[in-house]
Structure 1
C-alpha cells in the first residue's frame, strides 16, 4: 500500500524542512564531487601513483564507514539534525587541511577527517530524509538524492572553471560552504524517544530483507563510485584528454543522474521500482561496455552519460525501502528512533559499494582502467534478481 501522510505539522513547515534537508544533500554533492574531480591534480601535486590513490580511497571509505557507525549513537543522544551539523563541521576542517597542506602527511590527514565527516553526513542526512518522507506521505527520497546530484553538477562546473587556479584557492571556499549549511532548517528530533532504539532494532528488524536491499545498494555505489572517482582518471590515462576536459567524465554522468532522480518520485509512482531497476541495470551494463571499449574520449563520455541515466534511483529507493521495512509496526518518535538506528547501519552498504567501485576498480585496473571498468559492467547485472525485493517498500 502507499505511504500515508503522518504527523500534525503544517504543510509550510514540512516544505521548509524539505528545502533545508535538500540543501544539505546538495552541499554534500558539491563537496564530494569537488574532491573527486581534483584527484588527477592531487596525483600531480603530490606525485602519487594510482595504487597510492587507491590506498587513499580505501582510507576515506573505511573512515566514512566509521563516521556512519558513530552517527547511530549520536542520533540517539542528540538527534540526527545535530549530528548532521557536527559532520559538516568535520568536513570543513578536513577540506581546509587538504587545501593548505604543506606536506603529504597533512594532505592525508585532511582526507581522513573529511572521510569521517562524509560518513556521518551520509547517515544523518538520510535519517532526516526518510523521517520527512514518512511525514510527507509519499515517495520523495529520489528528489533529495537529485539535490545531491545537482550539487555535484555545480561542483563539476566550478572545477572546470577554476582549472587554472591553485588547489588552495579552489578548495578553501568549499570549506566555507560546508559551514554555511549549518544554518539549514532541519527536522527537529525528540531525543528521549530514541533511548530504546538499539534493543528495538536488534529484536524486531528483519535483517535478511534489509540485506537484500543493501546488496542492491552495494551494486549501485560500486558503479557510481567507479564513475565519479575513476572517470576523470580514465579520460586522462586511456585517452590522454587535456586537463580541462577531465571533469567531463563526471559532468554528463551527473546531469543524466540528476534528471533521473528529479523525475524519479513520479516515475516510481507510475512504473514501480522493480521495472525501473531491472531496466536500469541492463542499460547501465551497456553504458559501462561503451566506456570499456571506447575508441576516444567523446565515446567514453557518452558511456558515462548512459550509466548516469540508468541506475540513479537505486540508492534513494534502497533507503526508502529500508525505512519502510524497519518502521513496520510502530509509529511516531518510536518509529523514527528505530529507523534512525537502522539507517546508520544500512548506510554501511554504501561503503561496501564504494570499496568495490573505488578500490577494486583501481586495483584491477592499475595497468589498464578499461579492465577496471569491466568489473562493474558485469556485476551490475546482479540487480536483475535483486529488484523484486523492492516491492516490500510499499508494505510500510
Structure 2
C-alpha cells in the first residue's frame, strides 16, 4: 500500500473511512431515537417492533453475505457508495411508512433497505479500516468505531431535538436520509481502488478468486474465529440492545417521557464514543486482553444499575457505564481478526458476520422475550452475554505474526515501538 499511495492519498482514505463509519452510526441512531414515536404512530406492541427488527436483521445478514462479492466485483468505493445510498433511501422510507401512509409493511420495507445497506457497508468499512490499521502500524479500529459512535451521538441528539419539538418522523428521517446520501457521495471519492486496499492486507498481491474463496472458508474453520465471535457477540448484543431498546425501556419501564428516552441513548453513545477515542493508545499501553476484561465488568455493572435503578439520575449513570463498557469489544475483535495481514479480509469478514448477526438479530429476540417477562428483566440476558465476552477475552491476544509485520512495515518504522503490554 505504501508504494501504491502517497501520504496525502492515505490520509484521504482514512478520512473517507471515518466519514463512512459516521454515516452508518447516524442512520442507526436516527431509527433508534424514534422507535417510541414509530411504535405509537403504528399502534403496535413490542412483538411487532421485534418483527420489524427481525426484518432488518435478516436483510442485514443478506448484506453481509453479498458484501465480499460486491467488493471483489465493483470495488470498495462503488460498493460502499451503493450501500449507503440504499441506507439513506431506507431511512426515508421508514418515515414515509410511519406518518404519510401509516403502513407497517412500508416501514418494514424501509428497515429491510436500511438493514441490507448497513450490513453490506459494515463489512466493507471494517475491511478498509483493518487495512488502514495494518498500514499505519497502530491500533486504529477503536477510533474508526468512535466515528460510528459520533454518528450515533449526533443522530441521538437530533432525535432528542426532534422529539422535544414534536417534529414528525417523516420530516426527521427524510432529512437524515438525504444527509446520509450526501455524506456517501462526498466521502467515497477518497477511497482508493479495491486492488490497493487488498494490497495493504496482502503485500504479495491479489490472489485469484478461487484462492480467496478457499481462504474465506478456512477462516470459519479456525477455533479463534469463534472465540473472537463470543467476545464480539456479547458486546454487539450490548450495543445493539441499547440502540433499539434503551429509549423504550426508559420511557415505558422507568416512566420518563420520550425526550428523556432519547437523552439516555445520547448519554450511552457519548460514553461509548469517549472510550473509543481514547481506546487505541490505552490498548497499546496495557494490551487488548486487560482492556476487554475491565470493560466487560464495567458494561455488566452499568447495565445492572440501569435495570434496577430506582430513579432517573441512576438510570443515566447506568447508561453511561453500559456504553463505556460496551465500547471496544467490536473494534478490538475486528483488530484481532486482522492480526495476520495475508488473511485479514477473510477473518475480518467472518468476525464481522458473527458480531453483526448478534448486533441486529439480538434485539428482535429480546423483543419477543420482553412480552413475557418485561423489557428490563429481558436485559439481564445481555448481562450474561457480557460476562461470557469477558471470560473469552484472552482470544484477542495478538498473534505473533502481528509483531513481525508491524516491525517490517515501512509506515510503522517511524512510529514509536509498542510497549510489551500491547502483546497481551
Q: Which of 358, 361, 366 lines up with 1:361 in the alignment?
A: 366
Of residues 43-52 and 359-368 in structure 1, the stretch that sits farther from structure 2 once superposed is: 359-368
Give 1:51's aligned residue.
47
Any unmatched runs of 5+ in structure 1? 328-334
Distance 1:206 1:270 in 2: 32
1:390 aligns with 2:393: no
* Residues 192-341 of structure 1 aligned to structure 2 (within 5 Å): 193=206, 195=209, 196-203=211-218, 207-325=222-340, 327=341, 335=342, 338-341=343-346
- How far is 1:251 from its partner? 0.7
Q: Tell me the TM-score normalised to structure 1 length.
A: 0.91
| Alignment deviations for residues 203-244 of structure 1 (CA, whole Å, 9 cap, x no partner) | 577621111111110010111111121100001111221122
Identify the residue that residue 167 of structure 1 maps to in structure 2: 169
Alignment of 1:92 onto 2:93: no
Deviations 1:291-317 (A, max 9, x none): 121112221121110111123111111
Give the total of aligned pairs.
382
Say if 1:96 and 1:175, in contact at 8 Å, map to a contact too. yes
Q: Aligned partners of 1:238, 1:205: CA distance in 2, in Å?
A: 40
Q: State the secondary structure of the residue aligned to 1:193.
A: coil
Report if the CA contact (8 A) 2:339-2:399 is conserved.
Answer: yes
Q: CA RMSD in A?
A: 1.9
Separation in structure 2 between the aligned mates of residue 228 and residue 134 of structure 1, nearest angstrom: 30
Q: Which of 361, 380, 389 is the aligned partner of 1:374?
A: 380
1:82 aligns with 2:78: yes
How much does 1:176 deviate?
A: 1.1
Matches within 5 A, 1:145-160: 145-160=145-160
The answer to whether structure 1 residue 182 and structure 2 residue 185 are counterparts is: yes
Matched residues in 1 for 2:361 and 2:172: separation?
29
The 8 Å contact of residues 277 and 311 in structure 1, kept in 2 or not, is answered as: no
Say which of 23, 29, 46 aligns to 1:27: 23
Gaps of 5+ in 2: 199-204, 403-424
Match of 2:64 in 1: 68
Alignment partners' CA distance in 1, 2:134 and 2:396: 17
**TM-score of the pair, normalised by structure 2:** 0.86
Aligned-residue offset at 1:30: 0.9
Q: Distance in 1 between matches of 2:374 and 2:107?
A: 27
- For the residues of structure 1 that align with 2:267 and 2:172, how far apart are their CA atoms? 22
Q: Quick one: distance in 1 between partners of 2:113 and 2:279? A: 33
